[in-house]
């Protein structure tokens, strides 16, 4: 399974239900990685997308709200999600937020596509700092520095050490 996120220097991922920066290049990268795949998101992340499903992806929404209905797969527990995702090829599954969903799924992910933003953006939601666990995670590859809307960033691929 994969995780995909954009993080700032404090490994922040969002503030007040929104992304930290508007970066068309990062959105393009997200689309390239997830198109035709299964994405797993929480209900709050779904709400932050104006309640719209992304085209050409299977969306799995994880929520504790038993009354939540949507035109996609809605699952209420981590164990249910893991059972459902067994029917998928693990390389075709991308965990895509938010904070609580990432925390639950990190132990099950082997590859992490991380866009690192240079700077801090007052985040109130965070991703686990993979750099703090060098014995567990390694950078497999990194792009050159890019810049959009005054924000410098790079794409990193981390892998779980076996």
Q: List the domains of the chain with CATH numbers.
A: 2-131+138-150 (3.40.430.10)
H helices within the chain, ranges in order? 24-34, 43-48, 78-85, 99-105
Digit-coded pLDDT (tens) for 79-97: 999 999 999 999 999 999 9
- The CA–CA distances, whole Å, from 86 to 52, 57, 89, 151 equal 25, 17, 7, 38
Return the bridge partners of 152, or none: 147
Instruction: Please tell me the distance from the alpha carbon of residue 134 to that of residue 46, in angstroms, as a whole number.
Output: 32
Digit-coded pLDDT (tens) for 70-79: 999 999 999 9
- Whether the pLDDT of residue 151 is over 90: the answer is yes
Instruction: Please tell me the distance from the alpha carbon of residue 2 to that of residue 33, in angstroms, as a whole number.
Output: 10
Strand (E) or helix (H) holding 157: strand 151-160
Return the bridge partners of 137, or none: 160
- Whether the pLDDT of residue 162 is over 90: the answer is no
Return the bridge partners of 61, or none: 41, 74
Q: Can you give the length of the chain in residues?
A: 162
Please give the average per-residue pLDDT across 10-24, as a whole number.
96
Strand, helix or coil at 48? helix
Which pTM was predicted? 0.96
pLDDT at 129: 98
The pair of three-digit structure tokens given for residue 64, joined into one six-digit string: 């504790």
């Amino acid at each position: 399974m994969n995780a995909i996120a954009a993080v700032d220097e404090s490994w922040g991922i969002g503030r007040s239900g929104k992304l930290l920066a508007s970066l068309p290049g990062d959105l393009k990268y997200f689309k390239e990685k997830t198109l035709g795949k299964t994405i797993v998101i929480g209900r709050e992340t779904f709400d932050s997308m104006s309640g719209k499903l992304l085209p050409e992806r299977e969306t799995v929404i994880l929520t504790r709200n038993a009354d939540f209905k949507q035109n996609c797969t809605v699952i209420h527990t981590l164990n249910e999600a893991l059972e459902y995702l067994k029917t998928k090829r693990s390389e075709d599954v991308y965990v895509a937020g938010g904070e609580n969903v990432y925390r639950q799924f990190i132990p099950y992910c082997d590859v992490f596509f991380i866009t690192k933003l240079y700077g801090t953006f007052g985040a109130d939601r965070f991703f686990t700092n993979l750099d703090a666990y060098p014995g567990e995670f390694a950078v497999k590859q990194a792009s050159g520095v890019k810049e959009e809307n005054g924000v410098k960033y790079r794409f990193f691929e981390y892998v779980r050490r076996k």
